[in-house]
């Protein structure tokens, strides 16, 4: 675990010392970032394998701070300080380049030009290492002159410092930032299930508001993963409360919709609603028959509300975003495609349900009729067993000769009938 793990200042520190940042921060910001780096340096253990990068970044940053101090103030004092301290600044810059070159043995480059870190130091010379990693020769020459008591020009040293800091950022700090963000995202998603379950259970309005804010933020940041988790909870929890009689009904009763409507209200625009329904349709092929049935009932309830044919009480509970007239046709085509993408025992029911909701100008009635006919007659397609299969298992029952048919055959027949259906997602 890196020393900056769960440190809220990590991204701010990198933003300050990022050489590509067009706005140069004040010296106070550089000093604050340097202090955070020193803290991480103290907390670093040998198992973290990041000490050379921290030391090199600290050296490069200290040289920048020293240079900035000499350049601050009025012009007369600036010229005098720069003249008096030019040698000191060059020394700081030179040693920072040496520190930068000291971490090169921990890096290698693939044949495709990708630089990656290794734990075992290379035994090559610094110059050979630098050239193998694609470093320009003038940067390596700056390091060579510094080590052999030669003085480089201040302009050249500043350029070398900028290059070195940019190189470390590209091959180390940016990757650390991505890993840290991914780690936080994973933690937020892992907490999401507990937050949603607690949100459904708590009675205090103040706690509900706090939980809803956290859940909403996670949904906005990671809608795809968040909806997958939320829908799993929705199907599982509502399935517990559904009686066997309700399972056989064609729609969800209001007593089930009401306590879970606030989950649907997390969807704040139609793009999110379409993603929500997409994840819901994945449960149509769930091995658990109860879960698959509950997902179908929720899909039917939401789509009926979307077409404004549901009861006013349910429409008010769900508060779904309205369809835009210019995209309504495409939306209904996508929903029909997703509902029938893989044929199940519920496909005829879903086709019949959607055909009563979809406007005639969205999908022609002939296509709906053909799709319904194919769904009713072609859920299972009989295949002849292969010779080696029949010899190996001559006692196989009739069910083993059937396989689930996908939508490929349906779309082929629809295209042959001259009707087009938009199935893009």
Which of 137, 167, 184 is the endpoint of a domain?
184
Domain end residue (candidates: 152, 184, 216) = 184
Task: Provide the H-helix boundaries in 169-288.
Answer: 174-201, 205-221, 223-241, 244-247, 254-264, 270-281
| Three-class secondary structure assignment of the chain | CCCCCCCCCHHHHHHHHCCCCCCCCCHHHHHHHHHHHHHHHHHCCHHHCCHHHHHHHHHHHHHHHHHHHHHCCCHHHHHHHHHHHHHHHHHHHHHHHHHHHHCHHHEEECCCCCEEECCCCCCCCHHHHHHHCCCCHHHHHHHHHHHCCCCCCHHHHHHHHHHHHHHHHHHHHHHHHHHHHHHHHHHHHHHHHHHHHHHHHCCCHHHHHHHHHHHHHHHHHCHHHHHHHHHHHHHHHHHHHCCHHHHCCCCCCHHHHHHHHHHHCCCCCHHHHHHHHHHHHHHHHCCCHHHHHHHHHHHHHHHHHHCCCCCHHHHHHHCCCCCCCCCHHHHHHHHHHHHCCECCCCHHHHHHHHHCCCCCCCCCHHHHHHHHHHHHHCCEEECCCCHHHHHHCCCCCHHHHEEECECHHHHHHHHHCCCCCCCCC
Check residue 411 and give its pLDDT.
Answer: 54
Q: Which of 141-150, 168-177, 195-204 has the highest mean pLDDT?
A: 168-177
Mean pLDDT calculated for residue range 380-401: 42
Say if 273 falls within a structural domain.
no
Mean pLDDT, range 106-117, rounded to an integer: 87
Predicted confidence at residue 289, as pLDDT, reads 87
Query: Domain residues for 142?
Result: 10-184
Least confident of 268-277, 314-323, 334-343, 392-401: 392-401
Is-contact 145 99, C-beta < 8 A?
A: no
Domain count, the chain: 2
Phi, psi of 12 (to 5 degrees): -70, -40
pLDDT band at 363 (very low <50, low <70, confident <90, very high): low
- For the stretch 134-153, what's the b/e string if a residue is b when 16 or more beta carbons lie within 10 angstroms of its beta carbon? ebeeebbbbbbbbeeeeebe
| Residue 370 resides in a domain | yes
Residue 166 confidence (pLDDT): 93
Q: Is the pLDDT of residue 99 over 60?
A: yes
Q: Is pLDDT of 283 > 80?
A: yes
Mean pLDDT of 366-388: 53
Residues 110-114 have a mean pLDDT of 86
pLDDT of residue 298: 92
Of 184, 200, 230, the one marking the end of a domain is 184
pLDDT band for 205, please (50, 70, 90 cuts): confident
Residue 234 lies in a domain: no
Please report whether residue 132 resides in a domain: yes
The pLDDT tens digits of the residues spanning 245-275 come to 878 787 888 888 888 888 888 887 888 888 8
Asked if the structure places residue 283 within a domain, the reply is no
Q: Which two tokens stand for residue 423?
A: 């199935």
pLDDT of 222 strictly over 90: no
The residue ranking higher by pLDDT, 116 or 381, is: 116
In a domain, 109, yes or no: yes
């Amino acid at each position: 675990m890196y020393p900056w793990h769960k440190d809220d200042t990590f991204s701010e520190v990198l933003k300050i010392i990022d050489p590509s940042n067009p706005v140069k921060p004040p010296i106070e910001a550089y000093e604050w970032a340097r202090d955070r780096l020193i803290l991480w340096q103290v907390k670093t253990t040998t198992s973290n394998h990041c000490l050379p990068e921290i030391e090199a970044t600290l050296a490069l940053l200290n040289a920048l701070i020293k240079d900035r101090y000499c350049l601050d103030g009025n012009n007369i004092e600036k010229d005098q300080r720069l003249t008096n301290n030019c040698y000191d600044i060059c020394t700081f810059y030179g040693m920072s380049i040496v520190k930068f070159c000291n971490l090169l043995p921990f890096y290698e480059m693939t044949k495709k030009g990708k630089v990656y870190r290794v734990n075992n130091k290379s035994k090559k010379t610094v110059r050979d290492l630098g050239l193998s990693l694609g470093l320009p020769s003038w940067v390596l020459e700056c390091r060579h002159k510094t080590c052999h008591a030669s003085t480089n020009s201040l302009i050249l040293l500043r350029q070398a410092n900028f290059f070195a800091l940019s190189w470390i950022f590209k091959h180390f700090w940016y990757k650390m930032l991505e890993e840290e963000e991914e780690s936080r995202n994973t933690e937020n998603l892992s907490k999401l299930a507990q937050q949603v379950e607690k949100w459904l259970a708590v009675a205090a309005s103040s706690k509900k508001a706090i939980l809803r804010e956290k859940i909403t933020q996670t949904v906005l940041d990671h809608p795809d993963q968040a909806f997958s988790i939320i829908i799993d909870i929705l199907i599982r929890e509502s399935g517990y409360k559904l009686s066997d009689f309700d399972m056989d009904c064609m729609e969800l009763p209001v007593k089930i919709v009401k306590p879970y409507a606030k989950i649907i209200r997390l969807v704040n625009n139609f793009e999110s609603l379409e993603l929500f329904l997409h994840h819901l349709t994945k449960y149509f092929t769930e091995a658990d028959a109860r879960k698959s049935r509950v997902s179908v009932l929720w899909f039917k309830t939401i789509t009926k509300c979307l077409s404004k044919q549901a009861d006013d009480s349910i429409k008010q509970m769900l508060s779904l975003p309205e369809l835009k007239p210019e995209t309504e046709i495409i939306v209904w085509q996508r929903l029909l495609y997703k509902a029938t993408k893989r044929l199940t025992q519920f496909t005829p029911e879903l086709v019949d349900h959607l055909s009563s909701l979809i406007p005639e100008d969205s999908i022609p009635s002939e296509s709906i009729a053909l799709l319904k006919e194919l769904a009713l007659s072609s859920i299972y397609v009989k295949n002849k067993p292969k010779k080696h299969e029949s010899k190996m298992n001559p006692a196989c029952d009739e069910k083993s000769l059937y396989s689930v048919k996908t939508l490929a055959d349906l779309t082929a027949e629809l295209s042959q009938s001259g009707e087009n259906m938009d199935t893009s997602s």
